[in-house]
Amino acid sequence: MTDVLSDILDTVDLKAAVYFRTDFHPDFAIAVPAYQRAARFHMIVQGRCYVTLSDQTRVYLQSGDLVLVPHGAEHILSSEETMEAAPLADVMSLAGFTGSEPFVVGSGDSGKSCQMICGHFTFTQGADHPLLRSLPELLHVTAADRVMRPMLDEVLRLIVRRIFEGSPGVTASVSRLSEVLFIEIMRAGIAREPEIARLLSAVYDPQIGKSLSLIHDDVAKAWTVESLAAGVGMSRSRFAERFRELVGMGPMAYIADWRLQRALNLLTKSNLPIKTVAHKIGYRSAAAFTRAFSEHFGRSPKEKRSSRTGN
């Protein structure tokens, strides 16, 4: 059976990048711009920091805390709750930051600075899934949460160790850890975020989770509600009701959307003919596939492929 979470993250092309580590000395206030198709994260290694969204949602981070801004919204990193923030690009330029060393702002006792690891997860343009939509605008993982999530804590410790070592292979090492980190951050948010809890419960539900595995294992199959229900030992009506309850949409709508996400991935990652892509995701004709793809993404498969260097 297909590992549904891995298949989702592979298909939306989850990739991680650490773009800097900081040494910010109070007082500081930096406006981080919006970044489409990305989930930004900031992890406090030492010190403290406020993270504020444009709607004034604010969290206070202390050593060991991590915040995820799943939808790439603009936000402010600051030493105080309310401060006039300078654009990130301007601060970087003024600091002479090149990316090879820590991003230093201000000066003073290094033991009192705010040291963070800042990075992001990116997704293919147009990538979508109910699991991604379940993420809030901001997800705060505290040091206490890490104690309750040993896997998350260990992954974060490994990332910190690798980055501060500065040894060869850091980028590759962090990238390998990215999928585990993303999943563990979502799991840490279960207690506070009902939408995340609902979607993950669908993946792990003995019957609905199995139906998702069946779909992800062979998305091109001519599935029906009846065949999926039979495959997991449920009545048609109960299966449809339970699937919608946990996933947030009906099984056939889910299949239709997931087929197009698979197509998006194939068009982005391969040189397969459009007709072959259509067949691999369950469409009988390239014309029907093109209509569905164009309606969903706002451009044809051919146009998407021609622009993939700009993904």
CATH 2.60.120.280 region(s) of the chain? 4-192
Q: Token pair for residue 207?
A: 């019957």
In this predicted structure, the answer to whether residue 263 has a pLDDT above a threshold of 70 is yes
CA 88 to chain centre: 22
Question: Any residues with CB less than 8 A from the CB of 308 and at least 6 apart, and which?
Answer: 267, 268
- CB-CB contact of 12 with 183 (8 Å): no
Q: Residue 298, Cα to own-chain centre: how many angstroms?
A: 23
At 309, is the pLDDT very low, low, confident or very high (cuts 50, 70, 90)? low
Rounded CA-CA distance 193/190 in Å is 5
Confidence check: pLDDT of 268 > 70: yes
Q: Please give the pLDDT value at position 167.
A: 61
pLDDT above 80 (res 163):
no
Alpha helices, DSSP H only, in 104-190? Answer: 130-133, 143-148, 150-165, 170-188
3-state secondary structure string, 71-112? CCCCEEEECCCCCCCEEHHHHHHHHCCCCCCCEEECCCCHHH
pLDDT band with cut points at 50, 70 and 90 for residue 190 = confident
Architecture, CATH, for domain 4-192: Sandwich (2.60)
Helices (H) and strands (E) in the chain, counts: 14, 11
The arithmetic mean of pLDDT across residues 143-170, rounded, is: 82
Reply yes or no on whether the pLDDT at 82 is more than 90: no
Q: Tell me the average pLDDT of the chain.
A: 91
CATH of domain 214-224+248-310: 1.10.10.60
In the chain, ranges of CATH 1.10.10.60 domains: 214-224+248-310
180 burial (CB, 10 Å; 0-12 / 13-18 / 19+) is: middle
CB 131 within 8 A of CB 212: no
